[in-house]
Amino acid sequence: MSDFPSDSAHAKRLLTRRSLLGGGLSLLGTAALGSLLGQGAARAMPHFTPRVRRVVYLFMAGGPSQLESFDHKPGLEAGDTLPDSVRGDQRLTSFAPEQLKIQPSRFSFDRYGSGDGTWVSELFPHTAGIVDDLCVIRSMRTDAINHDPAMTLMQSGSQLSGRPPMGAWASYGLGSLNESLPTFTVLLSMSRDLTRNPQPLLNSLWGSGFLPGRHQGVRFHPGAEPVLYLEDGAGVSDASRTRLRDARNALDAMHFERTGDPAIATRIEAFELAHRMQTAVPSVTDLSDEPASTWARYGEDARVPGTFAANCVLARRLLENDVRFVQLYHSDWDHHETMVTDHPKAARDTDRAAAALVSDLKERGLLDDTLVIWGGEFGRTVYVQNPRGSNYGRDHHPRCFSMWLAGGGVRGGIVHGQTDEFSYNVVEDEVHVHDLHATVLHLLGFDHERLTYRYSGRDFRLTDVAGNVVHDILS
């Protein structure tokens, strides 16, 4: 069945040679678009009442170290060798040293928040201040040990490129909350103090995969042109732009009627959305109307376009304008030899603004129906890599890592899961990537086993053939 149902007889009456050439193009474009899309862009089909309406995913590309963030291991002794019984049959990366020597964290930890408190590293002082709003998951596990497949799995539920990411699935399942802005937006952050190349990020991470193209993420860029090629060229009048758009839509509609190709309907909708975005995007991306309290909360970096802090402010504005899914990347967390010098820089880039975003959403009453996710594609090893004086590195580690969630439907002030004494294996309440995806979809109102899309002869879903909702972290 086509993703874009149409009333064939109605479309034929609209798309006659006389109507095309007779000047009624604006009416024709609107009617044809409504007929072809069947109002599908705004459809909502959750399986049960959603707990959240929006998601913002703060993705720390490269792999933050759980040993330097939320998984405190005070009993580690420098120079001890990781026991073979702990490593088991785990595959190591090509960077792994011959001897797996233990390296305790050089950074101190303390307990924060109510009750028994949550252990948080000194690298995240602002996050420590909001732990009562966070569910810290210490028992995450993934299947991939290298960056590209691990990031692809974390986004799309598969290590193979070409599957839709979470944002595309949310768009497909729930549709738009604001027809003048993309349902799924993407923000890439640059570090202000970068001493190494950032982790590469592929466009496929926010593509639509096999879903219709209208569900792909739209990247917002820093600076004067937030969305590339959105504005009209110099000298193009509103009247000529409208005539061109209507004529193009009419021709596209005629082509769709002949071929039934859903990509044509996607193209029509993309042009219509782009037209609406010409007004909406400049308004939402212009931070000049933010009060002084914004910069006091998010920090002075928020004044610099493209920084993580500036993108957190923009993410809040997008969420305020009912953008369904905001994916925010920070790509400087892969520290194989500079854990002491560069992990603090990455933390400084992100800690204050991430905490500010949570508290800002809470004060505005948006956190109750917004889910905030923080984390990377895997963790780091307990064994040292490339020690150089006081500096050291850590390798990729998929068997256990830490993430946190905040917002609607999530229990705040809790820690879920435990790792062994080496932060090498999960020993309690493991949360696989598929489980995380099932839980996010659950909060959005979906049974993850029923949110499917038929492609190439089989039904696909975000959680592939696995995944369980982690009910223990839900309120």
273 occurs within a structural domain? no
Token pair for 194? 């970068």
Burial class (CB in 10 A: 0-12, 13-18, 19+), 291: exposed
259 occurs within a structural domain? no
**Mean pLDDT calculated for residue range 390-413:** 96
Rg of the chain over all Cα atoms, to the nearest angstrom: 24
| Total of domains in the chain | 1
Query: Does residue 431 have a pLDDT over 80?
Result: yes
pLDDT at 356: 98
370 occurs within a structural domain? yes
**Mean pLDDT calculated for residue range 319-329:** 97
Query: Does residue 10 have a pLDDT over 50?
Result: no
Tens digits of residue pLDDT in 37-77: 544 443 458 999 999 999 999 999 999 999 999 999 999 99
Q: How far is CA 397 from the centre of its chain?
A: 21
d(CA 417, CA 180): 41
Residue 437: count of CB within 10 angstroms of its CB: 26
2 occurs within a structural domain? no
Looking up residue 154, the CATH number of its domain turns out to be: 3.40.720.10
What is the 8-class DSSP label of residue 122? T
Tens digits of residue pLDDT in 300-313: 999 999 999 999 99
180 occurs within a structural domain? yes
76 occurs within a structural domain? yes
Q: Which domain holds residue 311?
A: 53-222+305-473
pLDDT at 241: 75
Please say whether the beta carbons of 444 and 55 come within 8 A: yes
Handedness of CA 193, 68, 199, 154 (dihedral sign): negative
Q: Is 53 left (phi over 0), alpha (psi -120 to 50) or beta?
A: alpha
Query: Does residue 20 have a pLDDT over 60?
Result: no
Beta strands in 345-471 (DSSP E): 370-375, 379-388, 391-397, 401-407, 414-416, 418-419, 426-428, 431-432, 453-455, 458-460
379 occurs within a structural domain? yes
